[in-house]
Amino acid sequence: MKLYTSVGPNPRAVRMFAAEKGLSLPVVEIDLMGGENRAPPYRDQVNPAGQTPALLLDDGAVITEITVICEYLEEVHPSPTLIGATPAERAETRMWTRRIDLNICEPLANGFRAAEGRGLFESRMKLVGAEGANELKAIARDRILWLDGLMAGRQYICGDRFSLADILLFAFLDFGATVGQPLPDQAAWVKAWFSRMQARPSAAA
């Protein structure tokens, strides 16, 4: 296997997942700032969407998208379990991963793309205006507080069980803090959880 990676929270989430698995995947760094992801050979041979991460399998097939790659790695390297050891655990992880992706990661990332990252993205995709960017950031902040209110008494998103949901949320919240979307002061649980996540060795991935 070979992992195509770059700057940004999306590939970082996969790198963290692999690190938590104890996997040392060969990596190829793609220069997003230089547009390498939008030009041959990457666009034609790896991911026509021009995005990272991408995982090249041993048979030459390529899979993309954070959760898909992590699901694959979980299946071929099931220990330690990061999605779940039972149908109920896997359903719980996927539920929270879906909620976090739609409610927090998407508005956070789109708010960045439409504001601080506008120069990088406006030639590549349709973006909302400045007012919309602020509203997207406000939505992400509101949903962080929503999540915070549901987490009392838990060590991680899925209770005492560390999972993909934690990795995905951390990668995006850590990114958000660098682009003008800091953690809300009122989110006491999330801030304590974030500190625990920062202390994990995989946070350096």
Structure tokens at 9: 């929270």
* Per-residue model confidence (pLDDT) at position 124: 75
Q: Write out the residue range of the structural domain in which residue 56 sits.
A: 2-76
* Per-residue model confidence (pLDDT) at position 130: 80
* Per-residue model confidence (pLDDT) at position 125: 75
Structural domains of the chain, count: 2
102 and 196 co-located in one domain: yes
Residues of the chain with pLDDT under 50: none
* Per-residue model confidence (pLDDT) at position 86: 98
Q: How many CB atoms lie within 10 A of CB 34?
A: 9
Cite the DSSP H helix spans in 151-187: 164-178
CATH number of the domain to which 164 belongs = 1.20.1050.10
In a domain, 128, yes or no: yes
Contact indicator for 42, 52 with CB cutoff of 8 Å? no
* Per-residue model confidence (pLDDT) at position 128: 84
* Per-residue model confidence (pLDDT) at position 150: 97
Whether the link from the prior residue into 26 is cis, omega within 30° of 0, is: no
Single pTM value for the model? 0.95
What are the C-alpha distances in Å from 42 to residues 24, 66, 117, 140? 22, 18, 22, 31
Side-by-side strand order, sheet with 27-29: 27-29, 2-5, 54-56, 62-64
* Per-residue model confidence (pLDDT) at position 22: 97
46 and 23 co-located in one domain: yes
In a domain, 196, yes or no: yes
181 and 108 co-located in one domain: yes
62 and 99 co-located in one domain: no
